[in-house]
């Protein structure tokens, strides 16, 4: 979405950046379409398989440079749910162990 080089910080082809909506579509409905599985995946609907993530914030509502900083609380992939610890909960756990 930002086309910013992680090494130099330079932005390449800014006019070709995707919007958050375009990027989200590309990895959900767009990917399902390319795999010819839009009846099974790509959106959250009754009867479809649902791989998803529970995020701290919506990538549609934050600045494009901040999307990489959104915390993932949990993921569901192939029916397996994984709860992720964030940096804040890890530091709280460490503090609790010290007491």
CB contact at 8 A, 55 and 73:
yes
Angle at Cα 40 formed by Cα 64 and Cα 32, nearest 5°?
40
For residue 42, count other CB atoms closer than 10 A to its CB.
Answer: 20
For 18-76, the pLDDT digits (tens) are 999 999 999 999 999 999 999 999 999 999 998 899 999 999 999 999 999 999 999 99
The verdict on pTM exceeding 0.85 is no
For 62-74, the pLDDT digits (tens) are 999 999 999 999 9
């Amino acid at each position: 979405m930002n086309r910013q080089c992680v090494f130099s910080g330079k932005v390449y082809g800014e006019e070709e950046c995707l919007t958050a909506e375009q990027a989200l579509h590309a990895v959900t409905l767009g990917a399902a379409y390319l795999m010819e599985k839009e009846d099974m995946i790509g959106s959250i609907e009754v009867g479809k398989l649902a791989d998803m993530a529970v995020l701290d914030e919506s990538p549609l509502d934050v600045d494009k440079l901040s999307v990489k900083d959104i915390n993932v609380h949990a993921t569901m992939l192939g029916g397996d749910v994984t709860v992720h610890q964030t940096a804040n909960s890890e530091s709280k756990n460490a503090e609790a162990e010290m007491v």
